[in-house]
Each structure stands twice: as structure tokens, then as C-alpha cells.
């Protein structure tokens, strides 16, 4: 949506992304901080942090509102997600989605799909930078597609690239944990969990549990080969959570990260300079500081 960002906001693309990223950081950090506090101030109490968060959310809604109005005024704008939401109708009533709901949907895509995708790609590139043999195999697979632009239809031919992404998501899931409400009484590990209890599922811990993964700290894309996938338990690999409340953007996230990783590796060779990948979890998992690499054009 490069042209859309410039025409709507009147800003250079990089400036626009910096402004949006700052507002998203403020809003998500406030949400995470409030969620983790054992004692919270009432919502009606005006605090500086709450004022900043509300201002950031209002600014982000203004951005997505401008995007929606621009697409309604010019259907030729390259913004397929916005146009898809405009065209969508309720299968039962035939009614279109209200503009306020479209604006909120776009906001969720910005908040939920920004840092998460960046973390998945950054970790995948960092770990490939430490495993040149795996990186070369990914490059060889992509080379079979030719020099044309990589398209969504090509994902089915990028099986090993997807395996690498799956292993990256296992070792560094962008959502380190997720909350769920128990819908019935149950017992977990000898502890009684009553209906209505808020339960935190540690995705990061599940993905590194030695009881369910062989050598869990090793990077091994073969864990997700077609043969190995048949042996995985349904709840063993859950980067997008699961059940009726699984991530609504899972398909989109898998598609864009696969295409992005393939596009980058086809053009560039990555050599990681840092032995560790430090992370922080203000809301979702993000890299804690720059992740350095030596990048050269692939021959």
C-alpha cells in the first residue's frame, strides 16, 4: 500500500511507517502493562499513560479511516485488503460491513500483524545466517521458480522454505503466550482448574518442552518435513494458538512471511554477526535491540 500511504497521508513512506510504529508501540505497551498489573486503576481515572494510549489509538483510527475513504473515492488504489472489506457482505443478511467496523478491522491488522511478522522474518533470517547450508537449500528451491516475481500461487512449491519458517516460529513464536477462559472444570498437572478461570498458555514453553520435542533448542527444519508432520500432536505446534479462537490472520501471516522470506533469500545472502537473538515481550515477542548481519547480493 505504498501509493495509498503517500496519497492519503502526504508523508514519505519511511516517515509514515515511523509515525505508525510509534503509535502502535504506545498503544500495545499500555495494553500489555495494564493486562499484567495485579492491581489496575479504574478505566475512568485520567492518567498520563492512558491519555497517551488513547491519543495513539485515535491517531491510528484516523490513518485507517483515511485509507478507507481514499479507497472508496478511488477503487483503483492498490489496497486489496481494504477493497475486500468494502466488498464483503453478510451471507445471511446481505449487509455490508459498517465503516466503523472496517476501520477497526484495519487497525487490528496493523496492531496484530506488524511486530509479529517482523519478529518471524527477523528470527528466520538470523537463524539462516547461522546455517548457510540450510540457507543455500532455501535459495536453490526458490531458484527453481525462475526470475519472475514470486506470487502466492508459488507457496505450494516452496515446501522447504515453509519448513524453515515453521521451525523459526517454533523457536521464536511472535506470541509467547495466550490467555484462555476455562469453559468447564478440569484438572491440569494435578491442579484443579475451575470453570471461568483465566488460563495462560505458554506457547514459548510448549515449543521448547523437551518432553515433546527432541533436542528442542536445536534448529532443525526437518521436524516439519511432510513425514514428520504426520507424527506431531495437534497441540504440539501452536504459533497461532488453536481452537475456535485461533489467530484470525494465520493464513495471511503464513502467506506473507513465506513470500517475503523467499524474496529476500533469492536476492541476498545473510551472514549473522550476533550469536544470540535477545527478545523482549512488551505485548508480542520482539527483538530486543538491533540484530546485526552482513548482507550481500546473491550470485
Q: Which residues are catalytic?
A: 116, 240, 247
| Bridge partners, 128 (sequence order) | none
HSE-CB at 297 with a 13 A cutoff on CA atoms is 1
Residue with cell 488460563: 199
First to last CA, the chain: 30
By CB atoms closer than 10 A (0-12, 13-18, 19+), residue 59 is middle
DSSP secondary structure code for residue 149 in this structure: P
β 198-201/268-272 pair status: unpaired
| Bridge partners, 89 (sequence order) | 96
Residue 142: strand, helix, or coil: helix
Contacts of 164 (CB under 8 A, 6+ apart): 124, 128, 134, 138, 221, 261
Cα(114)–Cα(64) distance, rounded to whole angstroms? 14
Closest CA to 8 of 70, 99, 64, 79: 70
Closest CA to 174 of 40, 37, 28: 28
Amino acid at each position: 500500500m505504498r501509493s495509498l500511504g503517500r496519497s492519503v497521508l502526504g508523508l514519505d513512506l519511511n516517515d509514515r511507517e515511523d509515525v505508525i510504529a510509534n503509535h502502535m508501540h504506545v498503544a500495545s505497551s499500555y495494553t500489555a502493562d495494564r493486562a499484567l498489573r495485579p492491581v489496575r486503576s479504574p478505566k475512568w481515572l485520567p492518567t498520563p499513560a492512558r491519555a497517551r494510549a488513547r491519543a495513539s489509538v485515535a491517531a491510528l483510527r484516523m490513518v485507517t479511516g483515511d485509507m478507507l475513504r481514499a479507497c472508496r473515492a478511488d477503487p483503483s488504489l492498490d489496497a486489496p485488503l481494504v477493497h475486500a472489506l468494502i466488498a464483503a457482505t453478510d451471507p445471511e443478511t446481505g449487509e455490508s460491513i459498517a465503516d466503523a467496523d472496517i476501520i477497526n478491522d484495519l487497525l487490528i491488522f496493523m496492531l496484530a500483524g506488524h511486530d509479529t511478522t517482523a519478529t518471524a522474518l527477523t528470527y528466520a533470517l538470523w537463524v539462516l545466517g547461522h546455517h548457510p547450508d540450510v540457507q543455500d537449500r532455501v535459495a536453490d528451491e526458490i531458484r527453481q521458480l525462475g526470475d519472475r516475481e514470486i506470487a502466492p500461487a508459488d507457496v505450494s512449491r516452496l515446501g522447504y522454505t515453509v519448513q524453515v519458517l515453521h521451525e523459526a516460529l517454533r523457536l521464536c513464536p511472535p506470541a509467547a503466550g495466550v490467555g484462555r477462559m476455562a469453559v468447564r472444570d478440569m484438572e491440569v498437572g494435578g491442579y484443579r482448574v475451575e470453570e471461568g478461570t483465566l488460563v495462560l498458555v505458554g506457547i514459548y514453553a510448549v515449543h521448547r518442552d523437551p518432553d515433546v520435542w527432541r533436542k528442542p533448542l536445536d534448529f532443525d527444519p526437518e521436524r516439519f518435513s511432510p513425514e514428520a508432520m504426520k507424527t506431531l500432536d495437534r497441540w504440539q505446534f501452536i504459533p497461532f494458538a488453536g481452537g475456535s479462537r485461533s489467530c484470525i490472520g494465520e493464513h495471511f501471516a503464513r502467506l506473507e512471511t513465506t513470500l517475503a522470506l523467499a524474496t529476500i533469500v533469492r536476492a541476498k545472502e545473510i551472514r549473522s554477526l550476533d550469536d544470540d537473538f535477545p527478545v523482549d515481550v512488551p505485548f508480542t515477542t520482539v527483538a530486543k535491540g538491533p540484530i546485526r548481519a552482513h548482507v550481500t547480493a546473491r550470485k
